Structure 1
Amino acid sequence: MDDINNSANPSTDVRQNGSEEVIIDVLDDHWVPIDLRNIHKKAYTPQVISIGSLHHGKGKYELKGMQKQKKRYKHKYIERKGNEKWEEMKFYIKSKEKEIRNCYEQPSLLKSDPFVDMILDDAVFIIELFLRNYHKVADFLLEKPRYKNTIKRDLQLLENQLPYFVLLELYRSATNGFDFCRYIGSSSTDPPFLHISCNFFGYKSYDISKMDGFNVKHFTDLRRYFLIEDHPMSKIQDVDLPMSKTQYKVVDLPCATKLDASGVRFKLNKNKGALNEDCLLDLNFDNGRKRGLKWSCIKLQLPFCKKYELQIPRITVNDRTEPLIRNVMALEQCHYPKETHVCNYIAFMDFLINTEKDADLLIEKGIIVNCLGENKAIAKMFNSFCLQTSTSPSCFFDMAKELKEHCDSRYHKAKATLKSVYFSNPWKGTGTVVGIIILLLTFVITLYSIMRFMRTN
């Protein structure tokens, strides 16, 4: 257990409480800053189930109703494992009570025994739910998409978490010698907790062997991991900065319609990000430098024929998208202030989407899948994401700079206008070419006639 506890406490802050020193784990604070919460309280508040101490005992009817399901899971567990195993798990939580309490910014008013019971009930509910989902055990919480999707949402809220090391240790205890698969007549053993966690949340592709160096703090942290997985993070190093660090933040970028008017085409990224929406940060600007016409072994670059493409992974926007993104952003604001990769991505998208027309363009290109209704809701959502947030130096800085220079170029604007007016479709293009040929022929014939007239005179 000691190795788990050590890995769960990479950074600490010591605060004085009278004569006693209280160690606060600054990386595991499950708390949303008040300025962020005031912008959209509902996005940070559980709808059907409370986990941990911050929302425990709140007056919401749905939260109290789910307490019955926690008791149902508790009784099922005791039936299978017995009271002895239950007491063993309770003893473990009791031994870690101070450490668990210190993981929450706001101290719980519960006394020791009720606090330990609350943590154990919540942990067993999560473990049972994940196992039932993995082994496809019949359960109405999983069979009804409305319940399952809302529980998924609630379990990824920053203020609705248990420390991951507690879940991991209790899972090891719960599955030791326990054949959960008897429900489906299988003799297979239960997989690692990280595996059933990813399975429950529906991460489409994951390799837990690659996560050996990643210390999961809680489920919000796990969601962030998959959003930035395999993403080329900012390579800016403090010692290498030729100018102030703030100058590497994206502070100006033309909106999507302006970029489109300057000849930048928006395209759905066909790499991993587009196929797996867990990874949204795989943006790429293809400026045409690698393109060209191949004649034998010679590659010719024709400036007028270059295509400039901003490739963006698909993002499906539904009623759960905003809460999940806001909670990951809140996590970065509190615990990853120098690595705000998701915040940087959202800021980039916020610049692109200023108005409903910008949203229309990205939806038309298949980059945004709108499940909210009117397209103006997309613009409103992205425009509000970055309020009261700050960003770190962004790996999108060079891309944004290049896009702005492209948009400001008179040459690119003229070329884009020419293409849109005279070459917007094959018929217009053909007509334009035929017209140019006729004009050239007319010019040649006229010139020939003038020269002939001059010779005869």
Structure 2
Amino acid sequence: MIANYRRVEDIGAISAENELEYSASIQILADTIRENLNPVLPLSSETCIYRVPEVLRRVSESAYTPKLVSLGPFHRDNGSLSKMHVHKRVYLKTYLEWYPEIKLESCLEALRGIEGRARQCYAEFINLNSFQFVEMMLLDGFFIIVFLIKFYSPERRGSDPIFDTMWMSWIIEHDMILLENQLPFFVLELLFNLAPDSKHDDTYPDLFDMTIQVFEGLVETNATPNTIDRSKVKHILDLLRGCCIPLSPVESPQVDRMSKVRYSVTELHDAGVKFKAGVSGSKCLLDVKFVGGVLEIQPLCIEDRTEPFIRNLIALEQFHYPNQAYVTSYAVFLDNLINTPKDASLLIHHEIIENCLGDHEEVSRSIKNLAKAVLADGSYFSEDYAKLEAYCKRRRHKWMTSLRRTYFHSPWAIISLIAAVFLIILTLIQAICSIISL
């Protein structure tokens, strides 16, 4: 290929002397470009695993990069993650020992049968031959499955360095929710279902429910699993997103491009808006309701995994769900509400945010960073924004709030106000009586 370009340069040097050779050089260049286009495949309908764009990665590199284990091809050659290769082989051996009926050859044959479909799930050309790709799916797939089983059923752990040191299992959980670190869910299900029916001994549920249970700290385990179409789940991150989005998704939540909350939590509070943790009749994280001056928001636990989890959900939506970007809208909603640590403190006070980071300023910073460099064309919360805007524009709400906080903030303030009013009335009566007696 390089030789072809050199040939074009050589011919170009004499093109003025020989028009025929100039035409030949154009043909060589066209053939070279056409040859370079061959590896560039169009995205398939199966595509669901993407590289995080640099514009998002620059905001928080650590939120998108695995710390301990590579899963899938994108970080396979990262030398700092190579130590986990031993654990992957140990977990494969463990699973085959749990179920001796499973033959390694059968696993490889089954994976070879879906190799083409699995490759199409990645949004770029995977430079692995067939043997390498199948081995990767085998080792990474069984590593995920055995990790989930051991996490869910501690009695199956035995002597395992991953679970004997809590930090390792915690970091692996982090690595499993990264967009770039995913295996197609149908690959995991194929390997999981190779085990005989005897595995259903109440030790652990099916792969779908077990995954949700393992990540219960990030999603509501009893909120939406029955409403998710299992056949459409792309990978673990996609499954967890399904546990967060509304039960009845709207096809295009971006109603108003310019809609946003124009008031922070503190400003809303000063305008008389009351805050309530939890939305009546809902457990969906993204549900928000503003009725009768009360803003109901589902509780959100802010811990070390929260920011990378929401960031990777946003990255997935930017690629795969541009017309159903619910988590993106939610992040922008929080970003608009929280501008200072005082805003975060008010939501923490009303138990809408559970602060597991310790520092209110850190909570504020974490939430403010979620929406950085994010493209959000409108919002799923446009209707709520409009209601809040209309409420805050009414001056009487601010006046009533100021009156309550100035004169009715404590029993003693109320007593003082009543005494002052009573004194004024007595003074007026005395003045009137004096006038009449004249």
Tell me which residue corresponds to 1:204: 221
Instruction: Please give the secondary structure, in 1, of the residue aligned with 2:295.
Output: strand
Q: CA separation of 1:336/1:428 partners in 2, compared to 1, >3 Å: closer, same or farther? A: same
Offset, 1:353 = 0.5
Amino acid at match of 1:341: Y
Tell me which residue corresponds to 1:298: none
Contact 2:50 2:319 in 1 (8 A): no
Deviations 1:213-261 (A, max 9, x none): 661111111111111243x655878xxxxxxx76355334201111111
Q: Which residue among 46, 49, 74 is the counterpart of 1:29?
A: 49
Q: Which residue among 73, 77, 96 is the counterpart of 1:78?
A: 96
Tell me which residue corresponds to 2:125: 107
Tell me which residue corresponds to 2:190: 169
Is 1:153 equivalent to 2:174 in the alignment? yes
Contact 1:158 1:331 in 2 (8 A): yes
Tell me which residue corresponds to 2:389: 404
Give 5+ residue unaligned stretches, structure 2. Answer: 1-35
Give the fraction of aligned pairs with identical amino acids, expressed as a percent.
31
For normalisation by structure 1, the TM-score amounts to 0.79
Amino acid at match of 1:100: A
CA–CA distance in 1 between the matches of 2:231 and 2:259? Answer: 28
Tell me which residue corresponds to 2:157: 138
CA–CA distance in 1 between the matches of 2:208 and 2:423? Answer: 70
Offset, 1:35 = 1.3
CA–CA distance in 1 between the matches of 2:126 and 2:76? Answer: 9
Contact 2:338 2:364 in 1 (8 A): yes
Offset, 1:271 = 4.4
Offset, 1:178 = 4.8
Contact 1:234 1:394 in 2 (8 A): no
Deviations 1:363-401 (A, max 9, x none): 222222222232222222222211222225434212212
Instruction: Please give the secondary structure, in 1, of the residue aligned with 2:259.
Output: coil
Q: CA separation of 1:195/1:347 partners in 2, compared to 1, >3 Å: closer, same or farther? A: same
Contact 1:264 1:310 in 2 (8 A): yes
Deviations 1:284-303 (A, max 9, x none): 2232xxxxxxxxxxxxxxxx
Q: CA separation of 1:340/1:214 partners in 2, compared to 1, >3 Å: closer, same or farther? A: farther
Tell me which residue corresponds to 2:278: 269
Deviates more, 1:71-80 or 1:86-95: 71-80
For normalisation by structure 2, the TM-score amounts to 0.82
Q: CA separation of 1:368/1:206 partners in 2, compared to 1, >3 Å: closer, same or farther? A: closer
Q: CA separation of 1:246/1:429 partners in 2, compared to 1, >3 Å: closer, same or farther? A: same
Structure 2 matches for 1:9-88, cutoff 5 A?
18=38, 24-25=44-45, 27-60=47-80, 63-82=81-100, 85-88=103-106
Q: CA separation of 1:378/1:28 partners in 2, compared to 1, >3 Å: closer, same or farther? A: same
Deviations 1:345-375 (A, max 9, x none): 1111111101122112222222222222322
Q: Which residue among 277, 283, 286 is the counterpart of 1:281?
A: 286
Tell me which residue corresponds to 1:184: none
Tell me which residue corresponds to 2:26: none
Deviates more, 1:135-144 or 1:125-134: 135-144
Offset, 1:43 = 0.1
Offset, 1:329 = 0.7
Instruction: Please give the secondary structure, in 2, of the residue aligned with 1:285.
Output: strand
Amino acid at match of 1:192: D
Deviations 1:310-329 (A, max 9, x none): 22222111111110010001
Instruction: Please give the secondary structure, in 1, of the residue aligned with 2:243.
Output: helix
Tell me which residue corresponds to 2:27: none
Q: CA separation of 1:42/1:189 partners in 2, compared to 1, >3 Å: closer, same or farther? A: closer
Tell me which residue corresponds to 1:356: 341
Q: CA separation of 1:335/1:249 partners in 2, compared to 1, >3 Å: closer, same or farther? A: farther
Q: CA separation of 1:204/1:433 partners in 2, compared to 1, >3 Å: closer, same or farther? A: farther
Amino acid at match of 2:432: L
Amino acid at match of 1:48: L
CA–CA distance in 1 between the matches of 2:39 and 2:183? Answer: 28
Contact 2:277 2:350 in 1 (8 A): yes
Count matched residues: 397
Is 1:426 equivalent to 2:411 in the alignment? yes
Instruction: Please give the secondary structure, in 2, of the residue aligned with 1:284.
Output: strand
Instruction: Please give the secondary structure, in 1, of the residue aligned with 2:58.
Output: helix
Deviations 1:92-147 (A, max 9, x none): 22122222112112322222211110111011111122222333212433454322
Structure 2 matches for 1:221-240, cutoff 5 A?
221-230=238-247, 233-234=249-250
Amino acid at match of 2:238: D
